Amino acid sequence: MRIKKLSELTSQSRKRKDKKEEAQVDSAVKKELFYTVRQNLDNVKQALGNSTDVISREFNISVEEKFTLGILYIDGLVNEDAVEHYALESIMHHHGAHLKHDDSETNMFEVIRNYSLSIGEIKEVTAFDDVLLHVLSGDTALFVNGYQTCIIAGTRGWKERAVSEPQAQTVVRGPRDSFTETLQTNTALIRRRIKSSNLHVESQQIGKVTQTDVAIMYIKGIADEQVIKEVRSRLNKIEIDGILESGYIEQLIQDEDYTPFPTIYNTERPDSVAAGLLEGRVAILVDGTPFTLLVPALFIQFFQAAEDYYQRADISTLIRLIRYIAFFLALLTPSAYIALTTFHQEMLPFSLLVSIAAQREGVPFPAIIEALVMEITFEILREAGIRLPRAVGSAISIVGALVLGEAAVQAGLVSPAMVIVVSITAISNFVSPAYDMAIAVRMLRFILMILAATFGLFGIILGLILMILHLCSLRSFGIPYMTPMAPFIKQDQKDVLIRRSLKKMNTRPKLINETNIVREKSQKEN
């Protein structure tokens, strides 16, 4: 018992000692800067755990060693040429002329800030947390002995991926550039297209640990002020440790969590974002991801591709109608096959009914089991093709589909008609220009299949009614999701099922923008 009590007392004393050491470390990391350079450098390095990638240097810029400076940055996050030539070299070689006139230490900070540094972006910070944030963001901190103010030089220059072709949203005709993982590059790609002083950018950091840069972009005078305020409000309410991708932001600010349909549009194409901004939408850009969010998002927006507006109206209308047809084929083909072959055989032509019955003669499973097995198998092949290396992914997915389909038919596990149904469904699902909407169709397809196996065509109709009611109840930042079909807006029908010519599309969507609706004067007015 004594040994047990002694061990408990020893453990408690160790805990108290650890807490005392932690308190000492926390007190050492002050919120305000020190007056001496050495203390500031040591404080920053201590806060960063004395990491080996933290580069610091203390040096003098006068023979009498009267003026002491300190510089600190993180290796790999800065442009080393900018640090060496526009910070260190300019300070150490171009300050002499100014110090001869006034050799007092009190003016040293102004001399460094106004005469010596040749870097374009310079800030002054007084809080220790601000110094840490800038250093971790790729800036360089410059401390001057005798001052509690730190000079922050903009020297961000980490390695980044070059602007390349879009991977998820390819087009036949249109720009071939896409966003990268660098926020500054993405905003520049948008400003390259919209050279307007009304294009505003507001940045902030989200994430207690990651401090991820998040920016919103909008065109003042075109975007609705209520939507802009709502975006700011939802972003300010986010309290999370880290933001690693724009999908985090999308999940935290969306209107409805329990829905298969995407209520926020994401794209990697700068031209799509520019078009959305010109319609009155707000773009949300996240550092570290090439996918940008656009709000508010409408149901019809997920059937519109960027190249629809780069081609003639008749071609774009035909392609868009094909997308809508493919949407219903991907959603209803398996469930319609199950309902017709299980409950409503009288609706099929006699010759087709005899052919299907002959094919299914040796199949031991009902149509619903047959369809579920084939659909799940295809989903597995699809995911395998995505996760496998590119060199073998496409080959394995195609060979796997052909071999498994043919082997299943020869083994009598599925009928040839079911293979055709699943193939049409899969191909139709790939037609969708928006990946998020294609996933929603994949999920709803299984629900409709179960309803078709239970109630036949009545179950399919019931499922469609519930789906439409759910769609009409959705909102995207206060805008009805089914706009302009529900509520019906006549003037906005020119870009729903069909796309009229650009001469006729002279107004912006009404509910998205109610202040600056006219985008082009008609020829009659001219």
Encode pLDDT of 84-100 as tens digits: 777 777 777 655 555 54
Position 278 scores a pLDDT of 92
Domain that holds residue 93: 28-153
Any domain includes 10: no
Structure tokens belonging to residue 305: 């591709």
Position 406 scores a pLDDT of 76
**Model-level pTM?**
0.83
Question: Which residue did the predictor score with more confidence, 382 or 440?
Answer: 440
Any domain includes 393: yes
Cβ proximity of 270 and 239 under 8 Å = no
Cβ proximity of 203 and 213 under 8 Å = yes
Question: Which residue did the predictor score with more confidence, 479 or 397?
Answer: 479
Any domain includes 497: no
The answer, yes or no, to whether residue 184 has pLDDT greater than 50, is: yes
Residues 146, 227 within the same domain: no
pLDDT band at 415 (very low <50, low <70, confident <90, very high): confident
Torsion sign (Cα): 404, 410, 413, 415: positive
Q: How many domains does the chain have?
A: 3
The answer, yes or no, to whether residue 498 has pLDDT greater than 70, is: yes
pLDDT band at 28 (very low <50, low <70, confident <90, very high): very low
Q: Which residues contact 101 (CB under 8 A, 6 or more apart)?
A: none
Cβ proximity of 334 and 371 under 8 Å = yes
User: Averaged over 23-40, what is the pLDDT?
Assistant: 68
Residues 43, 192 within the same domain: no
User: Averaged over 484-494, what is the pLDDT?
Assistant: 88
pLDDT tens sequence across 218-229: 999 899 899 999
Q: Exposed e or buried b for every residue in 84-104, given b needs 16+ CB within 10 A?
A: eebbbebbeeebeebbeeeee
The answer, yes or no, to whether residue 17 has pLDDT greater than 60, is: no
Which alpha helices (H) appear in 217-312, and where do they start and end? 225-236, 246-253, 270-278
Q: d(Cα 257, Cα 263) in Å, to the nearest integer? A: 9
Percent of the chain with pLDDT over 90: 42
Cβ proximity of 44 and 125 under 8 Å = no
Any domain includes 386: yes
pLDDT band at 112 (very low <50, low <70, confident <90, very high): confident
User: Averaged over 502-509, what is the pLDDT?
Assistant: 83
Structure tokens belonging to residue 298: 């409408």
The answer, yes or no, to whether residue 30 has pLDDT greater than 80, is: no
User: Averaged over 149-176, what is the pLDDT?
Assistant: 85
User: Averaged over 295-323, what is the pLDDT?
Assistant: 93
Q: d(Cα 269, Cα 61) in Å, to the nearest integer? A: 49
The answer, yes or no, to whether residue 102 has pLDDT greater than 60, is: no
Read off φ and ψ for residue 205, nearest 5 degrees.
Answer: -105, 130
Q: Which residues contact 226 (CB under 8 A, 6 or more apart)?
A: 478
CA angle 349, 355, 358 (to 5 degrees): 135
Residues 110, 210 within the same domain: no
Structure tokens belonging to residue 300: 């019809």
Q: Can you tell me which residue has the tokens 């009409």? A: 472
Q: d(Cα 128, Cα 135) in Å, to the nearest integer? A: 11
CA angle 488, 494, 496 (to 5 degrees): 65
User: Averaged over 264-274, what is the pLDDT?
Assistant: 94
Any domain includes 496: no
User: Averaged over 255-272, what is the pLDDT?
Assistant: 93
pLDDT band at 68 (very low <50, low <70, confident <90, very high): confident
User: Averaged over 176-188, what is the pLDDT?
Assistant: 92
Domain boundary pick from 228, 263, 297: 297
Residues 362, 476 within the same domain: yes
Q: d(Cα 151, Cα 488) in Å, to the nearest integer? A: 57
Question: Which residue did the predictor score with more confidence, 472 or 11?
Answer: 472
Q: d(Cα 215, Cα 201) in Å, to the nearest integer? A: 6
The answer, yes or no, to whether residue 297 has pLDDT greater than 70, is: yes
Distance of CA 243 to the CA centre of its chain: 10
CA angle 15, 17, 20 (to 5 degrees): 110
Nearest to 68 by CA among 13, 119, 28, 105: 105
Q: How far does the chain reach from its first CA to its final CA, in angstroms?
A: 100
pLDDT band at 153 (very low <50, low <70, confident <90, very high): confident
Any domain includes 515: no
Question: Lowest-pLDDT range, 5-9, 262-266, 321-325, 416-420?
Answer: 5-9
Any domain includes 508: no
Residues 322, 204 within the same domain: no
Report, in this order, helix, strand and coil percent for the chain, each rounded to 5: 50, 15, 35
Any domain includes 172: no
Position 356 scores a pLDDT of 85
Position 167 scores a pLDDT of 84
pLDDT band at 78 (very low <50, low <70, confident <90, very high): confident
Residues 356, 317 within the same domain: yes
CA angle 315, 316, 322 (to 5 degrees): 95
Residues 124, 268 within the same domain: no
The answer, yes or no, to whether residue 463 has pLDDT greater than 90, is: yes
CB atoms within 10 A of CB 82: 19
Structure tokens belonging to residue 228: 């802009």
The answer, yes or no, to whether residue 357 has pLDDT greater than 50, is: yes
Percent of the chain with pLDDT over 70: 86
Position 361 scores a pLDDT of 82
Cβ proximity of 324 and 426 under 8 Å = no
The answer, yes or no, to whether residue 169 has pLDDT greater than 90, is: no
Position 4 scores a pLDDT of 46
Q: d(Cα 79, Cα 140) in Å, to the nearest integer? A: 10
Residues 227, 138 within the same domain: no
The answer, yes or no, to whether residue 65 has pLDDT greater than 60, is: no
Question: Which residue did the predictor score with more confidence, 451 or 346?
Answer: 451
